[in-house]
């Protein structure tokens, strides 16, 4: 019997995949538990339409992320911090401060969880780089400068 999986199942298949399984396994386990549905002609048409729409939405998200990456590329964000005369910062600069600085200086809303700082932490004045992951396929590197307030 052929079924359409509704979610990923280890050692069996991935979501929206049509697979062939034994009749009893499908009728007694997969379908009653809501893990799969039978692959009738109607369900196949619905699946193909859903996959087509999902691909279109995914392409739109990738395009928007690419446009934002082009806008962010080459920007230098300036972050002020209280520092000692030796150049050491009281505390450290983290991704939350970078996200806030990008929002204030350039009006781009970036989720702080998508900002990855090179190295462990920033505890001295200077110029550093950070990577912003806008999508699994779209990444951009920005520079940020930490200066004494």
Number of domains forming the structure of the chain: 2
48 and 93 within one domain: no
Structure confidence at residue 25 (pLDDT): 96
Report the 10 Å Cβ neighbour count for 83. Answer: 18
Q: What is the pLDDT of residues 21-70, one digit of tens each?
A: 999 999 999 999 999 999 999 999 999 999 999 998 999 999 999 999 99
How far apart CA 101 and CA 109 sit, in angstroms, is 10
CATH number at residue 44: 3.40.5.10
Could you tell me if 40 and 87 lie in one domain?
no
Q: What is the mean pLDDT of residues 106-113?
A: 92
Q: How many angstroms separate the CA atoms of 147 and 131, rounded?
A: 20
List strand residue ranges (DSSP E) for 21-125, in order: 36-38, 76-81, 88-93, 115-117, 122-124
Reported confidence tier of residue 132, pLDDT bands at 50, 70, 90: very high
* Residues 131/143, Cβ–Cβ less than 8 Å: no
Q: Are residues 82 and 109 in the same domain?
A: yes
Q: What is the pTM of this model?
A: 0.67
Nearest to 114 by CA among 88, 95, 86: 95
Using a 10 angstrom Cβ sphere, with 0-12 exposed, 13-18 middle and 19 or more buried, the burial of residue 21 is middle
Residue span of the structural domain in which 56 resides:
2-60
CATH number at residue 76: 3.10.430.100
In terms of domains, do 114 and 80 share one?
A: yes
Asked if residues 39 and 104 have their Cβ atoms less than 8 Å apart, the reply is no
- Name beta bridge partners: 54: none
pLDDT over threshold 80, residue 119: no
């Amino acid at each position: 019997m052929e079924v359409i999986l509704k979610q990923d199942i280890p050692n069996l298949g991935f979501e929206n995949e049509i697979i062939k399984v034994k009749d009893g396994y499908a009728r007694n386990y997969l379908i009653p538990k809501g893990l799969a549905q039978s692959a009738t002609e109607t369900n196949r048409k619905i699946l193909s339409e859903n996959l087509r729409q999902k691909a279109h939405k995914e392409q739109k998200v990738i395009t928007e992320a690419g446009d934002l990456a082009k806008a962010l590329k080459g920007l230098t964000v300036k972050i002020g911090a209280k520092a000692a005369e030796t150049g050491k910062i009281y505390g450290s600069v983290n991704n939350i401060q970078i996200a806030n600085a990008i929002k204030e200086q350039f009006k781009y809303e970036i989720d702080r969880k998508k900002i990855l700082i090179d190295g462990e932490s920033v505890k001295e004045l200077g110029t550093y780089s950070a990577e912003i992951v806008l999508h699994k396929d779209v990444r951009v590197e920005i520079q940020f400068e930490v200066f004494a307030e």
